[in-house]
Structure formats: structure tokens, C-alpha cells
Amino acid sequence: MLTRDSRDPAARPRLLLSLLAIALLWPGIHFSELDLGVLLAGDSQSEIGHFVSAFWPPAHGEEFIQLLVQATLQTLAIATAGMALALLLAVPASLLASRALSLSAASRAGRPSPWGQLLRWPVRGVLIFLRSVPEIVWALLFVRAVGLGPTAGVLAIAITYSGMLGKVYAEIFESVDQRPAHALLQAGSGRLAAFAYGILPNVAAELLSYTVYRWECAIRASVVMGFVGAGGLGQQMDLSLRMFASGEVASLLLTFLMLVLLADQLSRLLRWRLA
Amino acid sequence: MTLHLSGASLTHSNGVHALQSLDLHIGASEQVAIIGPSGAGKSSLLNLLATALRPSSGDLQVLGEHAWQLSARQRQRLRARIGLVHQAPPLPPRQRVVTAVLAGKIGQWGLGKSLLNLMHPLDIPGARAALARLDLSDKLFAQCQQLSGGQLQRVGIARVLYQAPEVLLADEPVSAMDPVLAEHTLSVLSRHAREHNVTLVASLHAVELALAHFSRIIGLRDGQILFDLPAREVDRDLLDKLYANEQLQFSPVAPAPLSVQIPRC
């Protein structure tokens, strides 16, 4: 029996939220037509088995390796150039969209003035638009516009990723303690200086880790966009799949693995240096 | 007249009336202590005077300017001439002490100089001198997260000393220090104020410190000024009235024995 002394006011909302989450999960499974039984059916198992068994040995001919190295470099270049372009847009947009630079928030207990909030909405809208169209769609568009090749991939990544980076950066800026920046604003500093002294030291590690993670995602995205002709490993993968050259597919997959591993290690190294 | 409040009230966004129609005049290079029980509005009053909070009604004049009638840019320029010491200095845990101290002047520096200073501290001797006055110069290149509460408070004070404002406001500046250090720090503050003709207003919970270091004492209770007197005219009766707490006196549970706790530093 719950007495007044031992009752937790948060217990009922927590229970209700848990029930709600379960209630929402069921239609999700139902409407996505998820049926795990298919995996156990005999013919699909042998089909997958055939495909996978041909993976060994991975292709390692000299000519193919050369092709692979070139495609890998191209993929890395697409991802890096795309990220660099995306950052050019994402950093100013995140500063504009975030409450972290609000001068009025410093003297209103953290709530920006209505005008400030109103002005942040268009920037948020732009960021939403940029990331709501998947990069593969942008890639298809740009392949039409600038022709087959890496340029389309770079532009597609730049556009979608600026939207994602801008949104998440803005949220990271707002998620840390705002008091250091507010104290600086209250001592007469400019917005950007207060940001650099009050917010940046707290967010640097998270920004870096998210940026490297997004770079890793950009590598994968550039692979997918290769299928629609935007160059790199993906284009090579498309060709190999069409020719049923399973050995080549295996080598390509191994290369992906290496790249993701590399990104992971890079992130760890940078975070360790920054800590 | 350096600080001038007339009929100023402050209501927080949660509806709490922190200050109720205060009238307060503090002249140039005066040294004033604000005392009062917890929740009396001492921090609110100091934040109000520092232009960190806007009064819900009434008027505030600082250094001859109506702070809330200025444009945002002019107000920032005015704020650069006001220094506020926070009770728990809001410093990023990974920032180095030298950067935290030099940040006192970014209101006076341009953006370029501020960013350059972030790459490489531009005035290491200045920061060291400010810290040395508080016996903390050995922590110049330590990270703020490595410091104790009392050391952080001293970093906050060193930042304001380095800022060299014309009005120095301090919100419980020595609350986490041991008695000897608190004494020393307060005398550093008041000597700095005397030497540079700075107006000093500090809130303190230790009444003896307030009486010993300040010539004018303001007693604040329930958001109103109970008394505003020279230090020598403040007597036991007034203090009892200021700190009287009916709820504690009539609580049915016997009060726990008081244990003297030396604050960490």
C-alpha cells in the first residue's frame, strides 16, 4: 500500500510512458511487414548461402587492387570534400539556430526574447529542408545536372550533411551548461567571444566525435551514391554486383570495414588528445 | 551616484517576488555589504545591480546611465565596466585558469584579440599578478576542473580583478573558503576597491566579516531593505530581527546539534 511518505510523484508518468512506448511499437512492426520467419525458409537460406560462399577468396589481382585503391581514394575524397563544404554552411547556421548565442537569454534566465526565437525559426526551416531530402535523391539530381562522377556525390553530401550537422551542432551548443557564456555576456563580452570562451570548451569533444562519426557516415553515403553513378567504391561495387563477381564484392566490403575502423580509431585518437 | 535603484521590483519567471520596490543609492567608491537570511534576495539584488537581470518594474541607473534604456550594444559597453563575482563561478571545467582569468577583459577586447588569446594567452604576467594577490599563482596553467570550490571562487575573483571594473559586485565571494582565507580575500577586494576608487558591493552570510570589512551594511529580508546603516550602528537587536526565523523556532523536532564545518578550499 502506497502511503503519502513513500509515494514518488514521477512513478505514474513513467509507467504511462512505458505503456505508450509499447503500444506504439506494435503498429510499427505490423505496418513494416516485418516477418523474421522468411529468413528461416529453406530456399532463401540456400540463396544467401550461395552468394556468401562465393566471397572466398576475396579478389586480389594486381589490376583489381589498383582499381580498388583508386576507388577508395575517390570515396575518401568525396566524403572529405563533402564534409568540408557542409561545415562551411553548417557552422554559421548552427550558431544562428542555437539559443547559445542569445544575448537576451543571458538576462532572462535562459529564455531568449520572442523576437530572437522568431528569427531562429527560418534558419531551422532551412536546415530541416536541407536534410529532409535524402542524399541519394540529391545525387540523382546532380548526376543529371553535372554528369556522372564524384562532383555529384560531393554536392549531395554537402547539402544533406550541412542540414544534419547544423541541427545537431545547435543542439549540442544548447545541451551544455549555459552559465559560463551568460556570465561573460553579462560582463559585456560579444556573442562570439562569449561562445568561444563559455561554450566551446564544454562542447569541443562532443563536436569532434560527432563530426568524425558524420565523416564515417559520409564515406558510407558516398558508397551508396556510387550506385547511381557518383563515383568511388560504390560505382565499383555496382559493377562487381552486376557481374556476379563475388570475390570483388568481398574485397570491397573488406575495404569498407577498414575505412570504418579507420574513422573509429581517428575519433578515439582525437578525443584522447582533446581530453 | 554610481548605483541608483528607484522603486525596483523583480519577479522571477516562476512567479516568485524576489525584490519589492527597492530604493537604493550607492555613491562612487563606497563599500557596502548586503546581509540577510537565505532567500532574502541578496543574489537577485546583485544580479539586478550588475544589469544581469532586468527589473520587472522601476528604474536602474549604473554609472549615470539608465541601463535598460540603452541599446544592446551600449549596454554591453556599460556591462564591461561592471564586474560581478559569482558565488560558484561559472567556468568551463576544461578551461585553463589562465584563460578563465584573462576572459575578464574580453568585454574590452575585440573579437580578433579574444580569439587570438584563446590560441595563446596574450597576457600571462597580468593573469599571474591577479592570481598572486589571492595566493593562487601556482595554478595558472591548471584546468578549472582540478580546483576545489574555494580555489574556483578565487579564480572568479582574480578574473574580476583583471577586468578592473568601475563597479565591483560580489555575490558571497568567500562562502567556500576557510575563515583565514576569507578574511584575506575580502581585504584584497576592499584594498583593490580603495586603491582604484572602485565601488564595492558584496553580499555575505558571515555577519562578522561584513561588519569588519565594510563601512555600510544593508540588511535584506523578504526582498525588502530592513535597515541601511553604517557598520557601527548595527547592533544585536537589528541582527536578531533580520535573521529571525519563526518556522525554525517552532519546529516540533528538536534541532540537530550544530557541528562546526570548516568549508573546503
Instruction: Specify if A49 maps to a domain.
Output: no
Minimal-distance CA residue of chain B relative to A275: B94
Whether residues B82 and A187 touch (CB distance < 8 A) is answered with yes
Domain that holds residue A158: 59-274
For residue B264, is pLDDT > 60?
no
Task: Write out chain A residues lying below 8 Å of B94, CB-based.
Answer: 201-202, 204
Is B111 in contact with A184 (CB distance < 8 Å)? Answer: no
pLDDT tens digits along A74-130: 989 999 999 999 999 999 999 999 888 888 877 776 677 777 778 888 999 999 998
Using pLDDT thresholds of 50, 70 and 90, give the confidence band for residue A233: confident
Concatenating the DSSP letter of every residue in A9-37 gives TTHHHHHHHHHHHHHHHHHHHHHTT--TH
Question: Which candidate from A188, A201, A204 shows the least CB-CB separation from B76?
Answer: A188
What is the phi/psi pair of residue B31, to 5°? -120, 115
The pLDDT tens digits of the residues spanning A116-169 come to: 778 888 999 999 998 898 888 888 888 888 888 888 889 999 999 999 999 999
For every residue of A38-97, DSSP letters joined together read HHHSHHHHHHHHHHHHTTPSPP--HHHHHHHHHHHHHHHHHHHHHHHHHHHHHHHHHHHH
Task: Classify domain B1-81+204-247 by CATH architecture.
Answer: 3-Layer(aba) Sandwich (3.40)
Partner residue facing B84 (CB), from A179, A186, A201: A186
- Structural domain includes residue A18: no
User: Residue A8: inside a domain, yes or no?
Assistant: no
Query: Would the CB atoms of B12 and A109 count as touching at under 8 Å?
Result: yes
User: Span B2-10, mean pLDDT?
Assistant: 90
Test A190 with B114 for CB contact under 8 angstroms. yes
Q: Do A106 and B51 touch (CB under 8 A)?
A: no
* Choice between B177 and A45, residue whose per-residue pLDDT is larger: B177
| Closest in B13, B78, B111 to A193, CB measured | B111
Q: What is the pLDDT of residue B256?
A: 52
pLDDT of A162:
94
| Res B262: pLDDT | 53
Q: What is the CATH number of the domain that holds A155?
A: 1.10.3720.10
Q: What is the pLDDT of residue A220?
A: 86
Query: What does the domain layout of chain B look like in residue ranges?
Result: 1-81+204-247
Residue A60: the pLDDT is 79
Q: Span A184-213, mean pLDDT? A: 91
The DSSP secondary-structure symbol of A147 reads -
Report which listed range, A230-239, B90-99, B246-255, is most confident: B90-99
As a whole number of angstroms, the distance between CA A160 and CA A166 comes to 10
Chain A residues close to B82, C-beta within 8 Å? 187-188
Q: Taking CB atoms and an 8 Å limit, are B92 and A198 in contact across chains?
A: yes
Q: Is A36 contained in some domain?
A: no
Option in B13, B83, B107 nearest A109 (CB)? B13
Average model confidence (pLDDT) for chain A? 86
Sign of dihedral through CA atoms A222, A227, A229, A231?
positive
Give the model's pLDDT for residue A147. Answer: 84
DSSP code per residue over A176-211? S--HHHHHHHHTT--HHHHIIIIIHHHHHHHHHHHH
Q: Which residue of B has its CA nearest to A176?
A: B92
Q: Residue B83 and residue A187: Cβ atoms within 8 Å?
A: yes
Instruction: Please report the ipTM that was assigned to this predicted complex.
Output: 0.86
**Nearest alpha carbon to residue A219 among A267, A178, A175:** A267
Model confidence pLDDT, tens digit, residues B15-69: 888 898 899 999 998 999 999 998 888 999 999 999 998 899 999 999 989 989 9
With CB atoms and an 8 Å threshold, state whether A182 touches B90. yes
**A1-18 pLDDT, tens per residue?**
556 677 888 888 999 999
Domain count, chain A: 1
pLDDT in tens, B232-244: 888 888 888 888 8
Check residue B246 and give its pLDDT. 62
pTM of the model: 0.81
Helices A114-132 + A150-175 axis angle, to 10: 150
Q: Are A197 and B114 in contact (CB < 8 Å)?
A: yes
Structure confidence at residue A44 as a pLDDT band (50, 70, 90): confident
Share of chain A above pLDDT 70, in %: 97
Using left for φ > 0, alpha for ψ between -120 and 50, and beta otherwise, residue A33 falls in left
Using the Cα atoms of residue B52, residue B57, residue B60 and residue B65 in order, give the sign of their dihedral: positive
pLDDT score of B254 more than 60: no
